[in-house]
Amino acid sequence: MGVAAAFQLPRQIAPLLAKLDQCCYPPRGQVINVFGVEPGVGASTIAFGLANSVKNSLYVDAASQFISSRRTKYAKGPRKLGFSTVPHFSSLEIASDLLVSRLRIVLPHLDQTRFLQLDSWHPSHVSRILSLLIRSFSLVVVDWGQLQSSRNPLELPGKTLVIHDYQTAAQNPQTLRQLHRQGMLLVNNRASKLISTSGNRKFSLPHCRELKRLQAQGLGSQTPPSFKTHLARLLQEILEDGQ
């Protein structure tokens, strides 16, 4: 049975089921949006690691766009993390008949978290899907890929992280300062020196020798314990920020 067929609701009772679903599953989840200043700074590795560090979480790939004419059996996004056989599961296929009560069951696993590929070019679609996800999961981490000028992170629900490293910090100091002034949370990856700014909090991940190897070979479930500890601490600080 295909994904669309599995979510097809009977027309006669669809409105009733949707209302019951809203009553039984009120909004309760946190959303973390992750962007990379440039490709290769570790945004996807960190996004997956944050989701994978807690129970009842979801890793959302919004960087690999769904193109129906090129659809394959397995999802593209998880392959860069070392998961080669995760079933393709696009938000476009389930948007019209999706219930939270069934969403929890059918989304494929990625190690300790679950996975969904999000079609991110339709604002109303993104809003609807995210509203469903925060009713279903306690933590939703969205990997948006490289930060684009056409996307305004301030319009997204939840908290927004911008990942950079010592090279991108040196090349884009004004950009990072501007993002910082706009309320973005900056995560400095693979270097301890932070950009000199004031105001909102900044975060830093200590230098991790394994990170480049993980990015090159695929993350999978082979995350070093030290890196997991850093990510768990980062997640706690992010969720506590501003409270």
Helices (H), the chain: 3-6, 14-24, 43-52, 100-106, 123-136, 166-171, 173-181, 210-217, 225-240
Q: Write phi, then psi, for 220 (nearest 5 degrees).
A: 55, -140
Q: For the ranges 54-58, 126-130, 222-226, which has the lowest average pLDDT? A: 222-226
- What is residue 136's predicted lDDT score, i.e. its pLDDT? 87
State how far the Cα of 72 lies from the Cα of 90, in Å rounded to an integer. 11
- What is residue 196's predicted lDDT score, i.e. its pLDDT? 43
Q: How many structural domains are present in the chain?
A: 1
Amino acid at 136: S
The pLDDT of residue 135 is above 50: yes
CB 120 within 8 A of CB 67: no
Q: Residue 218 is part of a domain; what is its CATH number?
A: 3.40.50.300
- What is residue 71's predicted lDDT score, i.e. its pLDDT? 60
End-to-end CA distance of the chain, in Å? 45
CB 140 within 8 A of CB 60: yes
Across the range 36-42, mean pLDDT stands at 83
Domain span at residue 46 reads 3-240
Read off the tokens for 191: 């270097």
Of 20-34, 39-53, 172-186, give the range with the top mean pLDDT: 39-53
- What is residue 47's predicted lDDT score, i.e. its pLDDT? 92
At 41 the three-state DSSP class reads coil
The pLDDT of residue 114 is above 80: yes
Across the range 71-89, mean pLDDT stands at 78
Q: List, for residues 186-211, the tens digit of each pLDDT value.
A: 888 765 444 444 444 677 776 665 66
CB 81 within 8 A of CB 114: no
Across the range 175-188, mean pLDDT stands at 81
CB 154 within 8 A of CB 183: yes
The pLDDT of residue 242 is above 50: yes
Q: List, for residues 224-233, the tens digit of each pLDDT value.
A: 777 888 888 8
- What is residue 138's predicted lDDT score, i.e. its pLDDT? 93
CB 204 within 8 A of CB 194: yes
Q: Give residues with Cβ within 8 angstroms of 59, minimum separation 6.
A: 47, 48, 51, 52, 110, 113, 114, 115, 116, 141, 143
